[in-house]
Chain A
Amino acid sequence: MTHQDYQDMLALHALAALDGSDLRVMEEHLVSCATCREELESWHDTAGALVYAGELVEPSPQVRERILEDIRSAKKISAASSNVVPLKSIPRQAFWVSRYAAIAASLVFVALIVGLVILGEQNRRANRELARLSAQYEQAQRDRERNQKLLEILNSPGARVAELAGTNEAPTAHAVLTYDAKSGQAILMTNGLPPAPAGKAYQLWFIVGNLPMPGRVFAIEPNGTGVSSDQLPVAALKTAGFAITQESAGGATSPTGPILLRGSS
């Protein structure tokens, strides 16, 4: 496919009218072609102008109120979740990564003079620090994505929160399943479960009627907490029970272990 072929598809892409292999190759091409990305913005302007061919319709006043209520709630949740790794610290960490790397590089130069032993030690320290900061950065990214998704679910019109209480098998365990009853997007947060033994994992179940439908398996952090994204089956959107069992690490199609936590919508 030539570059002109891609340019010929840009107008249709701006209309979101591409599909199939055309859409796939176009998206792949845009990743690496700044010229086409710029041209696409121009086509977005043309496509955007078509909105003026539509009519003006007044939404109900309640929509404005709901939007403002939602962003106030989001602000409160954001403030409440400020105990996660501060997002603004990420660039500073990245800055310090480069600073440490520069320091390590300088030490390498000195070490060439004073001896290979010192060089090796400094390199190891720098690598450990780099690895620690990289892991911290990745964790912050995961936290950010999880919080973002949680906010999206809580802001959705179909937002629901179900509590799962520990059974006699795990009396101190507790979990909260937050989900959107329209899209089925869900986030499960657990507390008080011990890390699963090697080869095992915890698994969420959606129970519709008497039929358990498998959710995803998830792990527990050393501090006893666990967070997992999931997707409710369509049959479970309106009403369902929820349960957590311990299964093999790959998960099961039907529960084999005792119910550790249970709750319902």
Chain B
Amino acid sequence: MLPESTQLTDANLLNAIARQDEQALASLYDRYRRILFGLLMRMLRSREEAEDVLQEVFLQVWRQAPDFDPRRGRPFTWLVTLARSRAIDRLRQLGSRQRLASSAIEFAGEGISDAAENTFRAEQRQLVAAALTELSEEQRRTLTLAYFEGLTQAEIAERLRSPLGTVKTRMRSGMIKLRELLSQKMESRAF
């Protein structure tokens, strides 16, 4: 296996996918399948639904790669946004937000150990986990519900039986703090 630095970047892969290069799509899938599938499993709580959505996400990447504009964001951010958006759509189709009402879970402090995970992404996982420990419990809680369960601000307020204004403030202050922490911890390395 080539060292990470000599591999094609995500942007290179998307350019190749835009030119209908199947192997490039397979490479992008191999690179991010586990992190995206982990996210989808956590949101959808069903292997079948999560695999279904993962498939839809990469087919969407195949169709929309020619429209991707690297000036507007990073490929990985785009991928994650696509996956979350699809998963939220699926949750709404399934009407399963209420079904998941009592199933909130906390951020995992540690992921599955996997020797194949490259050092860069392993480091990012550690940094995000460390940053999250510096948020308040309320901030972590609201971000968890929004990010991993796809709940809106009003649904979070209902779930936590908190005023809507309080929920908005906690989420916003949590995101601001998270951005600051990640910026400090990553220094010049961009997320």
Contact = CB atoms under 8 A, between A and B. Distances in A.
Interface of A: 8, 11-12, 14-20, 22, 41-60, 62-64, 66-68, 70-72, 74-75, 148, 151-152, 155-157, 182-183
A54 B88 CA distance: 16
A12 B178 contact: no
Given A48-B76, A55-B111, A11 B172 contact: yes
**A-B complex: 8 closest residue pairs judged by Cβ atoms:** A19-B152, A11-B175, A56-B34, A48-B77, A52-B128, A57-B38, A17-B146, A48-B80
A51 B106 CA distance: 13
Interface residues of B, number: 71
Given A16-B84, A45-B73, A50-B143, A60 B51 contact: yes
A66 B55 contact: yes
Q: Please classify the interface of chain A as helix (H, G, I), strand (E, B), loop, or mixed, using the class held by over half of its residues.
A: helix
Interface of B: 20, 22, 25-26, 29-30, 33-39, 41-42, 47, 50-52, 54-56, 58-59, 62-63, 72-74, 76-77, 80-81, 84-85, 88, 93, 107-108, 111-112, 114, 117, 121, 124-125, 127-129, 132, 143, 146-148, 150-156, 168, 171-172, 175-176, 178-179, 182, 190-191
Contacts of B37: 57-59
Contacts of A49: 124, 128, 178, 182, 191
Contacts, number: 168
B22 A72 contact: yes
